[in-house]
Protein backbone atom coordinates (compact mmCIF):
# COMPACT_ATOMS: atom_id res chain seq x y z
CA UNK A 1 0.00 0.00 0.00
CA UNK A 2 1.56 3.29 -1.02
CA UNK A 3 0.98 6.97 -0.44
CA UNK A 4 1.45 9.47 2.35
CA UNK A 5 -1.00 8.67 5.09
CA UNK A 6 -0.72 12.18 6.40
CA UNK A 7 -2.44 13.45 3.27
CA UNK A 8 -5.54 11.30 3.70
CA UNK A 9 -7.67 14.22 4.80
CA UNK A 10 -7.16 15.91 1.43
CA UNK A 11 -8.67 13.01 -0.50
CA UNK A 12 -11.99 13.99 -1.97
CA UNK A 13 -14.93 11.69 -1.17
CA UNK A 14 -16.36 9.54 -3.89
CA UNK A 15 -19.47 11.11 -5.36
CA UNK A 16 -22.87 9.56 -4.73
CA UNK A 17 -22.92 8.30 -8.31
CA UNK A 18 -19.45 6.77 -7.99
CA UNK A 19 -20.36 4.93 -4.79
CA UNK A 20 -23.57 3.52 -6.25
CA UNK A 21 -21.99 2.57 -9.58
CA UNK A 22 -19.03 0.91 -7.82
CA UNK A 23 -21.40 -1.07 -5.63
CA UNK A 24 -23.46 -2.03 -8.66
CA UNK A 25 -20.39 -3.30 -10.52
CA UNK A 26 -19.32 -5.38 -7.53
CA UNK A 27 -22.85 -6.72 -7.22
CA UNK A 28 -23.06 -7.70 -10.89
CA UNK A 29 -19.62 -9.32 -11.00
CA UNK A 30 -20.34 -11.53 -7.97
CA UNK A 31 -24.10 -11.86 -8.26
CA UNK A 32 -24.29 -15.65 -8.02
CA UNK A 33 -22.03 -15.97 -4.97
CA UNK A 34 -23.59 -13.06 -3.12
CA UNK A 35 -27.13 -14.16 -3.98
CA UNK A 36 -26.57 -17.69 -2.68
CA UNK A 37 -24.93 -16.33 0.46
CA UNK A 38 -27.84 -13.96 1.09
CA UNK A 39 -30.38 -16.73 0.41
CA UNK A 40 -28.57 -18.93 2.94
CA UNK A 41 -28.76 -16.05 5.42
CA UNK A 42 -32.51 -15.69 4.89
CA UNK A 43 -33.08 -19.39 5.52
CA UNK A 44 -31.39 -18.99 8.91
CA UNK A 45 -33.99 -16.35 9.84
CA UNK A 46 -36.47 -19.17 10.42
CA UNK A 47 -34.47 -20.24 13.51
CA UNK A 48 -34.87 -17.83 16.44
CA UNK A 49 -31.87 -16.15 18.10
CA UNK A 50 -29.04 -18.27 16.67
CA UNK A 51 -30.48 -18.00 13.17
CA UNK A 52 -30.92 -14.24 13.50
CA UNK A 53 -27.27 -13.89 14.51
CA UNK A 54 -26.30 -16.05 11.51
CA UNK A 55 -28.35 -13.81 9.22
CA UNK A 56 -26.58 -10.68 10.44
CA UNK A 57 -23.17 -12.35 10.21
CA UNK A 58 -23.69 -13.80 6.72
CA UNK A 59 -25.08 -10.60 5.24
CA UNK A 60 -22.18 -8.67 6.79
CA UNK A 61 -19.87 -11.26 5.22
CA UNK A 62 -21.00 -9.97 1.81
CA UNK A 63 -19.63 -6.54 2.76
CA UNK A 64 -16.38 -8.18 3.89
CA UNK A 65 -16.01 -10.02 0.58
CA UNK A 66 -16.81 -6.89 -1.43
CA UNK A 67 -14.32 -4.87 0.60
CA UNK A 68 -11.67 -7.50 -0.10
CA UNK A 69 -12.26 -6.99 -3.81
CA UNK A 70 -11.89 -3.22 -3.42
CA UNK A 71 -8.51 -3.47 -1.68
CA UNK A 72 -7.23 -6.17 -4.04
CA UNK A 73 -7.29 -8.81 -1.30
CA UNK A 74 -10.04 -11.19 -2.48
CA UNK A 75 -11.09 -13.85 -0.02
CA UNK A 76 -12.90 -17.14 -0.41
CA UNK A 77 -16.40 -17.41 0.98
CA UNK A 78 -15.40 -20.31 3.24
CA UNK A 79 -12.53 -18.33 4.77
CA UNK A 80 -14.72 -15.27 5.35
CA UNK A 81 -17.50 -17.40 6.79
CA UNK A 82 -15.12 -18.93 9.33
CA UNK A 83 -14.16 -15.44 10.45
CA UNK A 84 -17.71 -14.13 10.91
CA UNK A 85 -18.82 -17.39 12.55
CA UNK A 86 -16.10 -16.89 15.16
CA UNK A 87 -17.86 -13.64 16.08
CA UNK A 88 -21.41 -14.90 15.89
CA UNK A 89 -22.46 -13.88 19.40
CA UNK A 90 -20.81 -10.50 18.95
CA UNK A 91 -23.13 -9.99 15.99
CA UNK A 92 -26.05 -10.99 18.18
CA UNK A 93 -24.89 -8.58 20.90
CA UNK A 94 -24.67 -5.82 18.31
CA UNK A 95 -28.24 -6.62 17.21
CA UNK A 96 -29.47 -6.28 20.79
CA UNK A 97 -27.62 -3.01 21.36
CA UNK A 98 -28.77 -1.56 18.04
CA UNK A 99 -32.33 -2.56 18.85
CA UNK A 100 -32.16 -0.77 22.20
CA UNK A 101 -30.57 2.29 20.59
CA UNK A 102 -33.25 2.28 17.90
CA UNK A 103 -36.02 2.14 20.50
CA UNK A 104 -34.37 4.96 22.43
CA UNK A 105 -34.03 7.11 19.31
CA UNK A 106 -37.65 6.53 18.26
CA UNK A 107 -38.98 7.28 21.74
CA UNK A 108 -36.74 10.30 22.29
CA UNK A 109 -37.47 11.89 18.92
CA UNK A 110 -41.16 11.02 19.22
CA UNK A 111 -41.48 12.65 22.64
CA UNK A 112 -39.58 15.79 21.61
CA UNK A 113 -41.54 16.35 18.42
CA UNK A 114 -44.86 15.51 20.09
CA UNK A 115 -44.16 18.20 22.70
CA UNK A 116 -43.15 20.67 20.00
CA UNK A 117 -46.32 19.90 18.08
CA UNK A 118 -48.47 20.30 21.18
CA UNK A 119 -46.85 23.65 22.00
CA UNK A 120 -47.31 24.88 18.44
CA UNK A 121 -50.95 23.82 18.37
CA UNK A 122 -51.51 25.45 21.79
CA UNK A 123 -50.11 28.80 20.66
CA UNK A 124 -52.11 28.71 17.44
CA UNK A 125 -55.29 27.73 19.26
CA UNK A 126 -55.01 30.53 21.81
CA UNK A 127 -54.49 33.13 19.11
CA UNK A 128 -57.21 31.91 16.78
CA UNK A 129 -60.69 33.33 16.50
CA UNK A 130 -63.77 31.14 16.27
CA UNK A 131 -64.25 32.18 12.64
CA UNK A 132 -60.81 30.88 11.76
CA UNK A 133 -61.44 27.25 12.73
CA UNK A 134 -60.94 25.95 9.18
CA UNK A 135 -57.69 27.88 8.72
CA UNK A 136 -56.42 26.72 12.11
CA UNK A 137 -57.26 23.11 11.26
CA UNK A 138 -55.31 23.33 8.00
CA UNK A 139 -52.38 25.04 9.74
CA UNK A 140 -52.27 22.40 12.48
CA UNK A 141 -52.36 19.68 9.83
CA UNK A 142 -49.45 21.29 7.97
CA UNK A 143 -47.47 21.62 11.19
CA UNK A 144 -48.11 17.94 11.91
CA UNK A 145 -46.89 16.91 8.46
CA UNK A 146 -43.76 19.09 8.69
CA UNK A 147 -42.91 17.85 12.18
CA UNK A 148 -43.50 14.25 11.07
CA UNK A 149 -41.13 14.63 8.12
CA UNK A 150 -38.48 16.35 10.25
CA UNK A 151 -38.80 13.66 12.94
CA UNK A 152 -38.37 10.93 10.31
CA UNK A 153 -35.27 12.64 8.91
CA UNK A 154 -33.78 13.01 12.40
CA UNK A 155 -34.42 9.33 13.13
CA UNK A 156 -32.81 8.31 9.83
CA UNK A 157 -29.81 10.53 10.62
CA UNK A 158 -29.29 8.83 13.97
CA UNK A 159 -29.70 5.33 12.53
CA UNK A 160 -27.29 6.16 9.69
CA UNK A 161 -24.58 6.84 12.26
CA UNK A 162 -24.75 3.09 13.08
CA UNK A 163 -24.84 2.02 9.45
CA UNK A 164 -21.39 0.36 9.50
CA UNK A 165 -21.63 -1.67 12.71
CA UNK A 166 -21.87 -5.03 10.94
CA UNK A 167 -19.03 -4.13 8.57
CA UNK A 168 -16.68 -3.33 11.44
CA UNK A 169 -17.48 -6.67 13.10
CA UNK A 170 -16.99 -8.53 9.83
CA UNK A 171 -13.69 -6.89 8.89
CA UNK A 172 -11.75 -5.26 11.69
CA UNK A 173 -9.72 -6.94 14.42
CA UNK A 174 -10.36 -6.55 18.14
CA UNK A 175 -14.01 -5.63 17.70
CA UNK A 176 -16.94 -6.46 19.93
CA UNK A 177 -20.55 -5.29 19.88
CA UNK A 178 -19.98 -2.07 21.84
CA UNK A 179 -16.72 -1.07 20.13
CA UNK A 180 -18.20 -1.66 16.66
CA UNK A 181 -21.05 0.71 17.51
CA UNK A 182 -18.62 3.38 18.73
CA UNK A 183 -16.48 2.84 15.64
CA UNK A 184 -19.46 3.33 13.31
CA UNK A 185 -20.45 6.53 15.10
CA UNK A 186 -16.91 7.89 14.73
CA UNK A 187 -16.37 6.86 11.11
CA UNK A 188 -19.70 8.25 9.87
CA UNK A 189 -19.22 11.60 11.60
CA UNK A 190 -19.88 14.40 9.12
CA UNK A 191 -21.07 11.94 6.46
CA UNK A 192 -24.56 10.95 7.60
CA UNK A 193 -26.38 13.14 5.05
CA UNK A 194 -24.24 11.84 2.20
CA UNK A 195 -24.86 8.24 3.27
CA UNK A 196 -28.59 8.97 3.41
CA UNK A 197 -28.47 10.37 -0.12
CA UNK A 198 -26.57 7.30 -1.34
CA UNK A 199 -29.18 5.11 0.31
CA UNK A 200 -31.99 7.01 -1.38
CA UNK A 201 -30.39 6.61 -4.82
CA UNK A 202 -29.78 2.92 -4.16
CA UNK A 203 -33.41 2.51 -3.10
CA UNK A 204 -34.57 4.02 -6.39
CA UNK A 205 -32.48 1.43 -8.26
CA UNK A 206 -34.14 -1.44 -6.37
CA UNK A 207 -37.68 -0.23 -7.12
CA UNK A 208 -38.06 -2.32 -10.35
CA UNK A 209 -37.30 -5.53 -8.42
CA UNK A 210 -39.77 -4.56 -5.72
CA UNK A 211 -42.44 -3.83 -8.33
CA UNK A 212 -41.95 -7.23 -9.97
CA UNK A 213 -42.12 -8.94 -6.57
CA UNK A 214 -45.30 -7.07 -5.71
CA UNK A 215 -46.91 -8.04 -9.04
CA UNK A 216 -46.01 -11.72 -8.61
CA UNK A 217 -47.24 -11.69 -4.99
CA UNK A 218 -50.51 -10.07 -6.05
CA UNK A 219 -51.07 -12.69 -8.78
CA UNK A 220 -50.45 -15.51 -6.29
CA UNK A 221 -52.86 -13.95 -3.82
CA UNK A 222 -55.56 -13.53 -6.47
CA UNK A 223 -55.18 -17.14 -7.58
CA UNK A 224 -54.81 -18.88 -4.23
CA UNK A 225 -56.85 -16.75 -1.82
CA UNK A 226 -60.23 -18.10 -3.02
CA UNK A 227 -58.89 -21.65 -2.70
CA UNK A 228 -57.55 -20.94 0.78
CA UNK A 229 -60.90 -19.46 1.83
CA UNK A 230 -62.57 -22.70 0.79
CA UNK A 231 -60.76 -24.33 3.67
CA UNK A 232 -58.10 -26.30 1.83
CA UNK A 233 -55.07 -26.79 4.05
CA UNK A 234 -52.88 -27.78 1.10
CA UNK A 235 -53.53 -24.50 -0.70
CA UNK A 236 -52.94 -22.55 2.52
CA UNK A 237 -49.57 -24.25 2.91
CA UNK A 238 -48.75 -23.67 -0.77
CA UNK A 239 -49.69 -20.01 -0.42
CA UNK A 240 -47.42 -19.62 2.63
CA UNK A 241 -44.47 -21.39 0.98
CA UNK A 242 -44.76 -19.39 -2.25
CA UNK A 243 -45.01 -16.01 -0.49
CA UNK A 244 -42.13 -16.90 1.83
CA UNK A 245 -40.04 -18.11 -1.11
CA UNK A 246 -40.70 -14.92 -3.08
CA UNK A 247 -39.84 -12.78 -0.07
CA UNK A 248 -36.60 -14.64 0.58
CA UNK A 249 -35.61 -14.65 -3.09
CA UNK A 250 -36.28 -10.95 -3.58
CA UNK A 251 -34.43 -10.18 -0.36
CA UNK A 252 -31.48 -12.30 -1.51
CA UNK A 253 -31.40 -10.26 -4.73
CA UNK A 254 -31.57 -6.85 -3.05
CA UNK A 255 -29.51 -7.30 0.13
CA UNK A 256 -26.18 -8.01 -1.67
CA UNK A 257 -26.60 -4.75 -3.59
CA UNK A 258 -27.00 -2.84 -0.33
CA UNK A 259 -24.04 -4.68 1.17
CA UNK A 260 -21.70 -3.93 -1.74
CA UNK A 261 -22.63 -0.26 -1.49
CA UNK A 262 -21.99 -0.47 2.24
CA UNK A 263 -18.52 -1.88 1.51
CA UNK A 264 -17.76 0.98 -0.89
CA UNK A 265 -18.89 3.57 1.68
CA UNK A 266 -16.77 1.90 4.35
CA UNK A 267 -13.76 1.81 2.02
CA UNK A 268 -14.26 5.45 1.02
CA UNK A 269 -14.56 6.70 4.61
CA UNK A 270 -11.50 4.78 5.77
CA UNK A 271 -9.51 5.94 2.74
CA UNK A 272 -10.15 9.58 3.56
CA UNK A 273 -9.94 9.37 7.34
CA UNK A 274 -7.18 6.80 7.80
CA UNK A 275 -5.32 6.65 4.50
CA UNK A 276 -6.56 3.15 3.73
CA UNK A 277 -5.92 1.92 0.21
CA UNK A 278 -4.71 5.18 -1.31
CA UNK A 279 -3.15 3.24 -4.15
CA UNK A 280 -6.56 1.91 -5.13
CA UNK A 281 -7.64 5.37 -6.28
CA UNK A 282 -5.26 5.05 -9.21
CA UNK A 283 -7.77 2.72 -10.80
CA UNK A 284 -11.45 3.19 -11.44
CA UNK A 285 -13.75 1.52 -8.95
Domain range enclosing 144: 5-282
What is the chain's pLDDT, residue by residue, as a tens digit (285 residues)?
333 333 444 456 778 889 999 999 999 999 999 999 999 999 999 999 999 999 999 999 999 999 999 999 999 999 999 999 999 999 999 999 999 999 998 898 888 888 877 777 676 666 555 556 666 677 777 877 888 888 889 889 999 999 999 999 999 999 999 999 999 999 999 999 999 999 999 999 999 989 998 898 888 888 877 777 776 678 778 888 888 999 999 999 999 999 999 999 999 999 887 776 544 444 444
Cα–Cα dist 234/176, whole Å: 46
Q: What total number of domains does the chain contain? A: 1
pTM of this prediction? 0.84
Would you give the end-to-end CA distance of the chain in angstroms? 16
Amino acid sequence: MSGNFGDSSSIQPLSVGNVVSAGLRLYRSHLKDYFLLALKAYLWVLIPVYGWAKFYALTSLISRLAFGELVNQPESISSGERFVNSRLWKFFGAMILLGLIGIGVFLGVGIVFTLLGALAVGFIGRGAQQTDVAAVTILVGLIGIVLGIVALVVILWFLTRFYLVGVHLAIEENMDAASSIRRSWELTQGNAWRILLIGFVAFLITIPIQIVVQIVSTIIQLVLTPLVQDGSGIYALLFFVLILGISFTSGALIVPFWKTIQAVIYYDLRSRREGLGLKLRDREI
